[in-house]
Structure 1
């Protein structure tokens, strides 16, 4: 008996034999601070996250009033990339905006 002794019903792999899982999603969270302007947060939401003006303003108000807000929900790689882009843009404009990717 071989080390790799398997029994197969057929040599053809069908769709029923393949398990496909959706990737785990992550929220990109923006956190409020006392220095980053509301206009800059709206700018970030429009340029990096591609939100419309009214949607960006609503998210910015969530960040301002509740202390944090969800900028978007993406698979892990995309969420981490957008969080990094946001932090880099904030640093270029001398703002301490905190942005992280958190599991949903």
Structure 2
């Protein structure tokens, strides 16, 4: 009958390892992790996209309640731009694409951009 264990796994260490000589201790290095950079999703004002559509997009894609969505929409309307949310780069880029796709599908020229926070 053959031994099911691999011969390398069964081999005993050779040399002076049993008396502690030559043994090495691996120290765990602490990684300096930085939080991911954040990006703002910003909607820009135009004279053609209905305010109701902007509120809808803010509720649908950014999960704002009606009051918050309305306040952001008014900021966009009066100041020319408004921050919809702050996210990591991948999430923010996805939100921008979703907003632009929804605007295109609805036939509105709504613009949405990504900026560093």
TM-score range, shorter chain: 0.7 to 0.9
1:18 CA drift (Å): 1.2
Q: Compute the TM-score of the two structures, normalised by the length of structure 1.
A: 0.87
Work out which of the two has the higher radius of gyration on C-alpha atoms and give 1 or 2. Answer: 2
Deviations 1:44-79, CA, capped at 9 Å, x for gaps: 000000000000000000000000000000000000
Structure 2 gaps of 5+ residues are 1-24
Aligned CA RMSD, in angstroms, stands at: 1.3
1:12 CA drift (Å): 3.2
Structure 1 gaps of 5+ residues are 1-9
Distance in 2 between the 1:51 and 1:37 partners?
A: 18
Give 2:28's aligned residue.
Answer: 13
Distance in 2 between the 1:75 and 1:82 partners?
A: 11
Distance in 2 between the 1:13 and 1:39 partners?
A: 56
Q: Does 1:86 align with 2:99?
A: yes
Q: Compute the TM-score of the two structures, normalised by the length of structure 2.
A: 0.77
Which one of the candidate residues 50, 65, 68 is aligned to 1:37? 50
Structure 1 runs (4+) deviating above 3 angstroms are: none
Task: Flag the structure with more relative contact order, 1 or 2, with Cα contacts below 8 A and sequence separation at least 6.
Answer: 1
Which one of the candidate residues 41, 65, 68 is aligned to 1:52? 65
Q: Does 1:64 align with 2:85?
A: no
